[in-house]
Amino acid sequence: MWHFIFSRTAVSILFCLIIGLAALLAPWLSPKDPLAADLSCRLAAPCAQFPLGADQLGRCVLSRILWGLRLSLGGALAASGLAVGAGTLLGIGAALAKGWVGILLRAVIDMGLSMPGLILAIVFAGLAPGTMQGLILGLAAANWPWWARLIRGLALSAAQKEFVIAARAAGLKPSRIVLAYILPQFKNPLLAGASLKTGRIILAFAGLSYLGLGPPPPAPELGRMLQEAGIYMARAPWLVFAPGISITLVVAALNVAGKIFQGEFYDA
């Protein structure tokens, strides 16, 4: 049983690493320029020249998938990093601050949780349509309240540990207590949450791009590739399958990694 669990863990982490490396090395792995059009190869089926076929402008789908992974993963990681950073600061502050400061921070978190995340992301993305910055800020704004609530709960629990109480009694500075005694307790929950939420952010990133709120054409973004391929579904189904399966595999890998960090597989 343990051998099976660890094998599944290794495969999942390895798959995440492969996806990350494929996105990172897209400039070297892409067989063709993702923006180079060749109308003589329009809607070409998968072949030696185009392993995943060519799109409506004769562009290599495989190259666009690799660059799309780079764009989507980069944007999702940036949005996730901003959300984690803001949520951690506000969550720890709300848990440990006394008096009116703590009350104000908790109110800010409650207000953030009361707002529909998707609507907030659309509003921010709409303020700067067609840019990565607007999409990243929108997704970060939609996700930081979740992180703030999680970190606040973890910080309240961590602050009750005996070694933290002893550190306070020893007169250590609050900043040192937080950095040396409280934050290290968040490692597994942070890794699990980051994997799961990043997968959802990638889905949201693709969805907003599908709606036209992401990077403008001819940027090879997976959601926009799905949107552009819709009218060619009957004639060239590979144009839909390639980006769709890519999104599914990335999100599935991140979700499995998140479950592993949560320790759910070890309870089986």
Q: What local confidence, expressed as pLDDT, does residue 215 receive? A: 83
Q: For 182-213, how does the pLDDT look when each residue is reduced to its tens digit (9 = 90+)?
A: 888 887 788 888 888 888 898 888 888 888 88
pLDDT at 5: 46
pLDDT of res. 267: 44
CATH class of segment(s) 2-29+52-267: mainly alpha
Q: What is the pLDDT of residue 66?
A: 92
HEC profile of the chain: CHHHHHHHHHHHHHHHHHHHHHHHCHHHHCCCCCCCCCHHHCCCCCCCCCCCCECCCCCEHHHHHHHHHHHHHHHHHHHHHHHHHHHHHHHHHHHHCCHHHHHHHHHHHHHHHHCCHHHHHHHHHHHCCCCHHHHHHHHHHHHHHHHHHHHHHHHHHHCCCHHHHHHHHCCCCHHHHHHHHHHHHHHHHHHHHHHHHHHHHHHHHHHHHHCCCCCCCCCCCHHHHHHHHHHHCCCCCHHHHHHHHHHHHHHHHHHHHHHHHHCCHHHC
Q: What is the pLDDT of residue 254?
A: 83
- Kindly give the parts of the chain with pLDDT less than 50: 1-2, 4-5, 264-268
Instruction: Break the chain into its structural domains and give their ranges.
Output: 2-29+52-267
Provide the β-strand partners of residue 60.
54
Q: What confidence score (pLDDT) does residue 178 get?
A: 82
